[in-house]
Amino acid sequence: MHSNFTGLLLVTGESAPNIESEILETLSPFVITILDKQSMDIRGRYFLAIHFSLDKAHAKAIEKDLLNTAAKIGVDLVVDYQ
């Protein structure tokens, strides 16, 4: 899938196992293409950025599911669409 509509997902929180896998599992039901993914763990803090293309019609559902996952695993999350 190639779309000109993209999302930038930013996740931060205390370092903990499986943050990235939980986020990716949340995205898995949707047809997206990950364009870039970067993560780092510094001084007990975890940072994850995922740039992805998607169908604009799915943006609200993706954001809703991601926010639910973030609340469940105790991280801060923001999604910016363009």
Which of the four pLDDT bands, split at 50, 70 and 90, describes residue 58? very high
Count CB atoms within 10 A of the CB of residue 73: 16
pTM value is 0.93
Exposed e or buried b per residue across 43-56, where buried means at least 16 C-beta atoms within 10 angstroms of its C-beta: eeebebebebbbee
Interval 68-81: pLDDT, tens: 999 999 999 999 99
Return the domain boundaries, the chain. Answer: 6-81
Token pair listed for 79: 């999604």
Query: Looking at domain 6-81, what is its CATH homologous superfamily?
Result: ACT domain (3.30.70.260)
Query: Residue 40 carries which side chain, given as an amino acid letter?
Result: M
Q: Provide the pLDDT confidence category of residue 2 given band limits of 50, 70 and 90.
A: low
Cβ proximity of 4 and 33 under 8 Å: no
Type of residue numbered 30 = F
